[in-house]
Amino acid sequence: MKAITHNTFGPPEVLGLAEVPTPEPGPGELRVRVMATTVNRTDTGFRDPQYLLVRLFSGLRRPKNPILGSEFAGVVDKVGPNATRFKEGDRVFGLRTFRFGAHAEYLCIKEDASIATMPRSASFEEAAAVCDGLMLAKNYVGRIDFARSPRLLINGGTGSIGCAALQLAKSRGAHVTVTCKTSAIGLMKELGADAVIDYTKEDFTIRGERFDVVLDAVGKSTFFRCRRILVPKGIYYSSELGPWWQNPLLALLTPLLGGRRVGFPIPTDRQSDIEMFRDLMESGKVRAVIDRVWPLADIIEATRYVETGEKTGNVVIRVA
């Protein structure tokens, strides 16, 4: 089969199209013919790890997973021994967080892993584009107490995590303010934002408005800058470690002090999450936001674009 592989860490140019053996599903596994995948920030972080922490997962000296790609949508092509949950021909989508393998024509996955039948009426490209952002967004949004009608500020509503967090929080009834560039204001309103701050014109940390939760989905602020816009027991989340890894450290310290605090939950995913994402898409509460679609052969170009940090939503790779 064709796959995009890399045998060394480095810039997008370490990626190359290669012919590799097609995997065979083992007991309890399915083989999926991948129709669409994405290049996301997890892929780029594992291809060129900047932190020792990431190297513990990506491989210390060379890549542990030569084929990247954590999101996929496709068709079950072969069912392994004792696998009963899916059948050949099922349209499926899901996540291979830290296991990867979706930048290829086929992948094998345990039938009880993060895989579910696709949302009705979604295209393969749309289904491939939702899981990573929603999983990371759920990691934060899933911890918010929505019974208290929280006011949430999302810094960077236009990234993959931001678009997902905005839609997820709105689906649970929160009042959501987002920041974005001028040209994305319309999109943010379409996705349900109650208020939009143009970050090119205004600093969201000095407006005087208070929030129960600040989620920095682009990791561009700090807790210390955002403290003043949090209510006294407010919580700050960031998708980045922050300067000198301050966010995980503050997540340990600030809860002991009893006031405003930092949360830094470790993302996890399971099959029930993918089923929930499917239900959210089918009910129209969440939709895929796709910036551009590239063919598999153009993955280096797609990766360069993702690394600009300027994509809106997701970059999809059409595999078949």
Interface contacts to ligand NAP, rule CB under 6 A: 40-42, 136, 155-156, 158-162, 179-181, 199, 217-220, 239-240, 267, 309-312
C-alpha span between 86 and 64 (Å, rounded): 28
> For ligand NAP, which residue has the nearest CB?
159
Nearer CB in complex with ligand NAP: 120/201 = 201
Q: Provide the minimum distance between the beta carbon of 225 and ligand NAP in the complex, in angstroms, as a whole number.
A: 12
Q: Between residues 13 and 203, which has the closer beta carbon with respect to ligand NAP? A: 203
Which stretches within 38-115 are classed as H helix? 41-47, 52-58
> Cα(242)–Cα(229) distance, rounded to whole angstroms?
18
Least spacing, CB of residue 41 vs ligand NAP, in Å: 3
Least distance (Å) from ligand NAP to the CB of residue 163? Answer: 8
Residue whose CB is less far from ligand NAP, 128 or 218: 218
36 or 218, CB closer to ligand NAP?
218
Joined tokens for residue 106: 């086929």
For 21, the token pair is 């053996």
Chain CA centroid to CA 27, Å: 29
Give 76 or 180: the residue with its C-beta nearer to ligand NAP: 180
- How many DSSP H helices and E strands does the chain contain? 10, 15
- Token pair in block for residue 138: 């759920």
- CA-to-CA distance for 191 and 180, rounded, in angstroms? 13
All residues at 6 or more sequence positions from 179 whose CB lies less than 8 Å from its CB, including other chains: 153, 154, 155, 156, 157, 196, 197, 198, 199, 204
286, two tokens = 């969440």
What's the min distance (Å) between Cβ of 97 and ligand NAP? 9
Amino acid at 199: Y
CA–CA dist 171, 189 (Å, integer): 14
Judged by CB, which is closer to ligand NAP: 30, or 213? 213
The least distance separating ligand NAP from the CB of residue 42, rounded to whole angstroms, comes to 5
Least Å distance between CB 91 and ligand NAP? 25
